[in-house]
Copies of this chain bind each other. A is one copy, B any other.
Amino acid sequence: MALQEAATEDDLRAGLAQLEKSCEYLASSRPTGANLFWALERVKRSAEEFAASRPEANLQSLREHVLEEANAICAEDVDMCRRIGENGATFIKEGAGILTHCNAGALATAGQGTALSVMFEAQEAGKKFRVYVDETRPLLQGARLTAWELQQAGIEVTVICDNMAGWLMKQGKIDAIITGADRIAANGDAANKIGTYSLSIMAREHNVPFYIAAPSSTFDLSIKSGTEIPIEQRGADEVRFFGGTKVAPDGVGVYSPAFDVTEARDITAIITERGVVEKPNAEKIAKLLRHKG
């Protein structure tokens, strides 16, 4: 959209329509996510209020306002990530083996991440521990991103294949599991990268505490339980090909859900920037969200 000098109602309406379109496009990237929608909604609402309440508003000032709001969200995210880390660091004991899945670090947030922030803050507090990272098929965010982030931070990191996690727990190598979440229902059921559900079952089997670290904007109180969370399906070729290499026969079927849902009863605690919800349930979550931390 070209910069326009004249401030007319038509210009503003066009600007808001363009913003709406951009938000729709960004929202289509990840149907399972919650705080993506939260951020888009916040920017849209703020732009509408701005346009409605400022008689002097023109397209240029609207755009500046939208950028300001986005920058404010970014700054809040940096701070929020740090507070999630501070609130969770106590769950990492000296000498512990920690397991994580996918990427919930600086590469996935504006700040130092959610699950990884807990590790960064534990390290900041002087603790030594080892992090086992599920490589996280099909897209290998664990091997490619999380392992790199932890290595850069000087934390001991060991990559494993996803199917090894249960056997590591059985051998007593894992003292805690910490992952992020993409959407958390009102009752505490949490959607996260495919494979997280299985980890939560293994964790219960082996008495390993299972933590979710996520900003409070991940809660979606409009959704009562995890069964209502939409699960994004991914294309077959992410499984059938690896880099350029074909790894399964032509024409073979593939089923590839990008997320699964961990039940609240299998979550030891949800670590947010507002505080920690142990043994999460609808009542405790509602209470956390009522009190702005």
Contacts and interface: CB of A to CB of B under 8 A. Distances in A.
Interface string A133-162: 011111010011001100100001111111
Interface in A171-204: 194-195, 197-198, 201-202
Consensus secondary structure, chain A interface = mixed
A75 interface: no
A249 B201 contact: no
A247 interface: yes
B239 A143 contact: yes
B198 A147 contact: no
Interface in A216-232: none
A147 B239 contact: no
A254 B160 contact: yes
B243 A157 contact: no
A167 interface: yes
B163 A198 contact: yes
B252 A147 contact: yes
Interface in A11-69: none
Interface string A258-285: 0010000000000000000000000000
A239 B140 CA distance: 11
Nearest to A164: B194
A190 to B, nearest CB: 14
Given A144-B247, A163-B137, A158 B198 contact: no
Contact of A194 (B136, B167, B257): B167
Nearest to A150: B252
Nearest to A163: B195
A253 B205 contact: no
A240 interface: yes
A177 to B, nearest CB: 13
B202 A151 contact: no
A93 interface: no
Contacts of A242: 140, 242-243, 245
A165 interface: yes
Contacts of A111: none
A256 interface: yes
Interface of A: 132, 134-138, 140, 143-144, 147-148, 151, 156-168, 170, 194-195, 197-198, 201-202, 205, 239-240, 242-245, 247-249, 251-257, 260
Given A143-B239, A157-B253, A158-B255, 5 more contacts: A132-B255, A137-B163, A158-B254, A159-B248, A160-B256
